[in-house]
Amino acid sequence: MYDLYIANKNYSSWSLRPWVLMRTLDIGFKESLFPFGNSAKDFSAFSPTAKVPCLVDGDLTVWDSLAIAEYLAERHSDVWADNAAARAWSRSAAAEMHSGFQALRKEHPMSVGLRIRPASISGSLQQDIARIDALWQQGLKSFGGPFLAGSTFTAVDAFFCPVAFRFQTYGTVLSAESTEYKDRLLSLPAMQEWQEAALLETWRDGDHEEEAKAVGEILADLRMSGNS
């Protein structure tokens, strides 16, 4: 049985990728959640980079969400699309998500339970949003949808699941096709499960809270009352 180490479901965008992939593909795992700022358990106790996610398979530790997806792809079918062209596109799009979109990460941090009206949207953020919208439309059109690489949910969709939560939080305006795709991701059973758990979390991490507050007006906080 795999052991998947993750952090708070409300904030941890990187943790969500392997979690939603494994849940949706029905790959069994034990979840080990360690909240940010919990001095009793530093991430370095289980992760070589002191970051999450981290997958432990017996004696083997695999860190970094992209490496985890590839490790799973060697052991389970359907992690990437069967079709070679769709697979190449998927790996490119997932890698682009993995290494890019800095403005989106910085200016629209993930906080599943918050609804925020951004005070402004920088040019760089607008470019990131437009690029994601174009990428989503391209995948859906090229491989026939309803997921990015075709008819089934694969790793490339998992890499964009945190983006769906960000777009939900900030009310991001997208094309009709991308709006439908974002809503499709948000309504997946695994995404609903993650969201419900995020809303029940009572831990609050000061840095994450400040980052979100700085974006604009908080319209709603759907989380259970927190500890700070």
Ligand X SMILES: N[C@@H](CCC(=O)N[C@@H](CS)C(=O)NCC(=O)O)C(=O)O
> Rule CB under 6 A: which residues touch ligand X?
7, 12-15, 43, 50-53, 64-66
Give the integer Cα–Cα distance in Å for 193 and 86.
28
What residue has token string 């419900």? 196
Provide the minimum distance between the beta carbon of 80 and ligand X in the complex, in angstroms, as a whole number: 17
Instruction: Tell me whether residue 64 or residue 107 sits nearer to ligand X (CB atom).
Output: 64
Give the relative orientation of helices 176-186 and 123-143 as an angle to the nearest 10 degrees: 80
Residue 149 is inside which H or E element, if any? none
Give the integer Cα–Cα distance in Å for 29 and 223.
26
Instruction: Tell me whether residue 20 or residue 52 sits nearer to ligand X (CB atom).
Output: 52
Q: Which residue is nearest to ligand X (CB)?
A: 51
Provide the minimum distance between the beta carbon of 11 and ligand X in the complex, in angstroms, as a whole number: 7
At a CB cut-off of 8 Å and minimum separation 6, what does 106 contact?
Answer: none
Is the backbone peptide bond immediately before 53 cis, with ω within 30 degrees of 0? Answer: yes
Provide the minimum distance between the beta carbon of 54 and ligand X in the complex, in angstroms, as a whole number: 8
Instruction: Tell me whether residue 43 or residue 101 sits nearer to ligand X (CB atom).
Output: 43
Instruction: Tell me whether residue 12 or residue 111 sits nearer to ligand X (CB atom).
Output: 12
Provide the minimum distance between the beta carbon of 191 and ligand X in the complex, in angstroms, as a whole number: 17
Provide the minimum distance between the beta carbon of 111 and ligand X in the complex, in angstroms, as a whole number: 12
Instruction: Tell me whether residue 13 or residue 154 sits nearer to ligand X (CB atom).
Output: 13
What residue has token string 């769906």? 164
